[in-house]
């Protein structure tokens, strides 16, 4: 029997376990697909453990809906920071959270007992092909490079106004960003898994299709590595902000509209990416397991 909390950040929803008060599950990788199942489990994009840390106010361990463990989740870390403050493990304001990306500084502004607005220092993007990682594209930055993972030309490319060149960024996890005219019409359920698992990406990749609305405003949709289509991706929105600056398509301050809500990003061209968005509790419950 395990107590849990369901939370979401801009619709990117996870099951959270407060391991300050609950024992950590013995096999979280095996538990994640079961508890994240939207028919027979709690439902969510995965499982996140909030664990005591000697280096920070808390440590985040994040498992995708397929059980794979990821280094970082931007929406997840906002919710972790909210939980840490709301449950009294740290005071409001600047909070440090240990992630697979390292220790991040997060500023929590409570907006009620179950909701906070959270600003995250996402760290500096990694831009070299080997660091992302991406293969078959040469050394250096991967900026507007032909995306071999798309495969042969298809009719939907014209229908959505696709630019088949990708820009790749790591925010501690790998991202491929592609631009198009009509993001809603992209067959994401087909092309997302094709790109995610292509041989070009040794650790798989998160895939984002982006429609530019203005120099400071985009609309985007995401296929997340290990989880599929999600309503929001904080590291992905950060990668989109970086890609927009690198390609000259958008400015360093950017509003990103995702199916689950809006995130605000800042990246002046060097240094860390800053991301601001909501973290909201949905409900608490008890997982009985087998």
Please tell me the pTM assigned to this model. 0.92
In the predicted structure, residue 289 carries a pLDDT above the cut 90: no
Nearest-angstrom CA–CA distance, 198 and 202: 8
Question: Catalytic one among 147, 168, 180, 233?
Answer: 233
The CATH architecture to which 129-271 belongs is Roll (3.10)
Question: What are the sequence ranges of the domains in the chain?
Answer: 2-120+277-287, 129-271
**Buried-exposed string 241-276: b where 16+ CB fall within 10 A, e elsewhere:** bbbbbbeebbbbebbbbbbbbebbbbbeeeebbbbb
Q: Tell me if residue 168 is catalytic.
A: no
Six-digit token string for 101: 């990306």
Cα angle 101, 107, 112; round to 5: 125
Question: Catalytic one among 73, 79, 147, 241?
Answer: 73
Task: Tell which residue, 69, 60, 70, 202, has the closest CA to residue 132.
Answer: 202
Which pLDDT score, from 0 to 100, does residue 86 have?
96
pLDDT digits (tens, 9 = 90+) for 178-202: 999 999 999 999 999 999 999 999 9
Arithmetic mean of pLDDT over the chain: 97
Could you give the residue ranges of the DSSP H alpha helices within the chain?
28-36, 74-86, 155-160, 188-196, 234-247
pLDDT digits (tens, 9 = 90+) for 120-172: 999 999 999 999 999 999 899 999 999 999 999 999 999 999 999 999 999 99
Which pLDDT score, from 0 to 100, does residue 290 have?
64
The two domains 2-120+277-287 and 129-271 share their CATH topology (first three levels equal): yes
**What's the rounded mean pLDDT across residues 265-283?**
97
**What's the rounded mean pLDDT across residues 29-52?**
97
Cβ within 8 Å of residue 271, ≥6 positions away: 124
3-state secondary structure of 9: strand
Q: Tell me if residue 147 is catalytic.
A: no
| CATH 3.10.310.10 corresponds to the domain 2-120+277-287 | yes
């Amino acid at each position: 029997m395990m107590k849990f909390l369901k939370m979401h950040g801009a619709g990117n929803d996870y099951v959270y376990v407060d391991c300050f008060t609950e024992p950590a599950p013995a096999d979280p990788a095996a538990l994640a697909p079961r508890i994240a199942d939207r028919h027979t489990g709690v439902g969510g994009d995965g499982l996140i453990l909030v664990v005591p840390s000697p280096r920070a106010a808390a440590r985040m361990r994040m498992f995708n809906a397929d059980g794979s463990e990821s280094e970082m989740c931007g929406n997840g870390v906002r919710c972790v920071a909210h939980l840490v403050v709301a449950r009294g493990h740290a005071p409001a304001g600047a909070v440090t959270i240990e992630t697979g990306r390292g220790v991040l500084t997060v500023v929590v502004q409570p907006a009620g007992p179950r909701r906070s607005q959270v600003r995250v220092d996402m760290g500096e993007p990694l831009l070299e092909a080997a660091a992302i990682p991406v293969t078959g594209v040469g050394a250096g930055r991967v900026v507007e490079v032909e995306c071999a993972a798309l495969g042969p030309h298809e009719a939907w490319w014209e229908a959505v106004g696709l630019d088949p060149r990708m820009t790749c960024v790591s925010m501690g996890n790998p991202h491929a960003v592609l631009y198009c005219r009509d993001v809603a019409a992209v067959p994401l359920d087909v092309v997302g898994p094709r790109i995610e698992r292509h041989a070009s990406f040794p650790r798989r990749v998160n895939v984002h299709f982006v429609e530019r609305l203005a120099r400071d405003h985009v609309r985007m949709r995401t296929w997340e590595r290990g989880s599929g289509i999600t309503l929001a991706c904080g590291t992905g929105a950060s990668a989109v902000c970086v890609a927009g600056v690198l390609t000259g398509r958008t400015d360093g301050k950017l509003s990103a509209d995702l199916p689950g809500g809006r995130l605000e990003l800042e990246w002046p061209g060097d240094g860390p990416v800053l991301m601001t968005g909501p973290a909201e509790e949905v409900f608490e419950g008890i997982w009985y397991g087998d």
